[in-house]
């Protein structure tokens, strides 16, 4: 039987493609964003503990109550925001589910959604599946800042939502206080919803604060704020995320969530709740990854790659224009198959395939892995 695809232009995600290519050629995988080191041993032990204690059935649809309470306490401590665990926090099967549920909850056919490019590749398909229309605004190159004048010019009476991502994947930039001021001005006289993808909230460098929407009451009142335990605790495969939103927005999101996954893994939720009693892990995360950023940038200093600014996430953009004028997809494939290092070509994060001759490298790796990869890059 033949069907008409709802997503005719969507193929296999670039993360899967490059990771498979890396595996086939036994390349060092700096493409997909996951660590090659283990999660905290104590956290793994807590999962086992709850499994052995029989906590292996469905959790409440909204998420384990204790976990939601611990999330609310963390938000209060970090962002001085009072969040109601029962009505304003929803635990999801990964951040991607939360993003999809938030978009689906409010975007209707014909609604426009502003997408800042380069953009994480799950945003646009979710918009299109809801009948929405993505309106693209490129970040400025090479500093990847938001052009708020251009955002303002893109607004129409049909604009329903803007999607923000800070710290930003793939570029490693973060929103500043000036960005927040501009966003507040733009949204002041509109019914604009904000979807704020903050999964790297604890990975910001050089002493900068994380400008969460939750810090700013006017913005929080119209925002879905999404975060991820996987990025924070080196457990991307456990797929637990959450969304914080006002009660009225959370109610609509939960209507979608309950028919997507209904609930998320019970013993893992309980383990995270236990582990969150101690704040040391996420408080030390920025320094941990800043050291890895500095190591990787130092290791490639003698190469012909040019590091672009990186102020958050665990991704480093490298300009390769001094090496070749190949399109980034072609060079990423050749780098993997011929030299043995896999990276992500950022043109896939633009609707028009815009190519700045850069590649994205993940430095959430053991120091030995980074040493080996950098040695190869320095030979090009």
Are 248 and 320 found together in one domain? no
Residue 334 lies in a domain: yes
Q: Give the pLDDT of residue 86.
A: 98
Q: Name the domain boundary from 244, 278, 312.
A: 278
Residue 8 lies in a domain: no
Length of the chain: 380
**Cα three-residue angle 337-341-343, rounded to 5 degrees:** 100
Structure tokens at 370: 């980074």
Are 270 and 363 found together in one domain? no
Residue 188 lies in a domain: yes
Q: Name the domain boundary from 229, 251, 278.
A: 278
pTM flag (> 0.85): yes
Q: Report the CATH number at residue 187.
A: 3.40.640.10
d(CA 106, CA 95): 17
Q: In 3-state terms, what secondary structure has residue 26?
A: coil
pLDDT < 70: residue spans in the chain: none
Q: Report the CATH number at residue 20.
A: 3.90.1150.10
Residue pair 149/185 in contact by the 8 Å Cβ criterion: no
Residue pair 194/106 in contact by the 8 Å Cβ criterion: no
Query: What secondary structure does DSSP assign to 277-296, as a single string?
Result: T--HHHHTHHHHHHHHHHHH
Residue burial 264-280, b: 16+ Cβ < 10 Å; e: rest: bbbbbbbbbbbbbeeee
Q: Name the domain boundary from 253, 278, 303.
A: 278
Are 293 and 259 found together in one domain? no
Are 84 and 177 found together in one domain? yes
**What are the residues whose beta carbons fall under 8 Å from the beta carbon of 338, sequence distance 6 or more?**
none
**Cα three-residue angle 93-98-103, rounded to 5 degrees:** 145
Handedness of CA 375, 376, 378, 379 (dihedral sign): positive
Are 293 and 146 found together in one domain? no
Residue 302 lies in a domain: yes
Are 126 and 255 found together in one domain? yes
Are 220 and 103 found together in one domain? yes
Query: What secondary structure does DSSP assign to 283-330, as a single string?
Result: HTHHHHHHHHHHHHHHHTTTSS-EEPP--BSSEEEEE-TTT--S-HHH
Are 122 and 240 found together in one domain? yes
The count of domains in the chain is 2
Residue 6 lies in a domain: no
Structure tokens at 339: 């030299």
- Residue 57 belongs to domain spanning: 42-278
Residue 106's nearest CA partner among 243, 249, 269 is: 249
Residue pair 145/122 in contact by the 8 Å Cβ criterion: no
Are 208 and 82 found together in one domain? yes
- 291-331: pLDDT as tens digits: 999 999 999 999 999 999 999 999 999 999 999 999 999 99
d(CA 183, CA 174): 14
């Amino acid at each position: 039987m033949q069907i008409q695809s709802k997503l005719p232009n969507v193929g296999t995600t670039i993360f899967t493609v490059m990771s498979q290519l890396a595996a086939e050629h036994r390349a060092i995988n700096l493409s997909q964003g996951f660590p090659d080191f283990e999660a905290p041993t104590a956290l793994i032990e807590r999962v086992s503990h709850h499994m052995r204690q029989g906590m292996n059935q469905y959790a409440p649809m909204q998420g384990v109550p204790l976990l939601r309470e611990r999330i609310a306490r963390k938000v209060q401590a970090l962002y001085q925001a009072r969040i109601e665990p029962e009505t304003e926090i929803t635990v999801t099967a990964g951040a991607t589910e939360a993003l999809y549920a938030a978009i689906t909850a409010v975007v209707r056919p014909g609604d426009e959604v502003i997408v800042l490019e380069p953009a994480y590749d799950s945003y646009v398909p979710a918009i299109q599946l809801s009948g929405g229309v993505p309106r693209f605004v490129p970040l400025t190159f090479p500093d990847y800042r938001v052009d708020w004048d251009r955002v303002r010019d893109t607004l129409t009476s049909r604009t329903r939502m803007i999607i923000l991502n800070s710290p930003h994947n793939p570029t490693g930039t973060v929103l500043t206080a000036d960005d927040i001021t501009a966003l507040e001005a733009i949204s002041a006289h509109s019914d604009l919803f904000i979807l704020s993808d903050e999964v790297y909230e604890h990975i910001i460098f050089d002493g900068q604060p994380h400008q969460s929407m939750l810090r700013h009451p006017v913005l929080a009142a119209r925002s879905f704020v999404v975060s991820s335990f996987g990025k924070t605790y080196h457990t991307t495969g456990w797929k637990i995320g959450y969304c914080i939103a006002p009660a009225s927005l959370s109610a609509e999101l939960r209507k979608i969530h309950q028919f997507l996954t209904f609930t998320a893994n019970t013993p893992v939720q309980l383990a995270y709740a236990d582990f969150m009693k101690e704040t040391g892990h996420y408080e030390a995360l920025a320094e941990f990854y800043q050291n890895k950023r500095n190591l990787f940038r130092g290791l490639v200093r003698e190469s012909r790659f040019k590091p672009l600014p990186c102020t958050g996430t665990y991704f480093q953009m490298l300009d390769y224009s001094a090496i070749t004028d190949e399109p980034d997809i072609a060079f990423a494939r050749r780098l993997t198959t011929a030299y043995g290092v896999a990276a992500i070509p950022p043109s896939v994060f633009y609707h028009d395939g815009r190519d700045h001759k850069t590649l994205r490298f993940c430095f959430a790796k053991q120091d030995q892995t980074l040493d080996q990869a950098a040695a190869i890059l320095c030979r090009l």
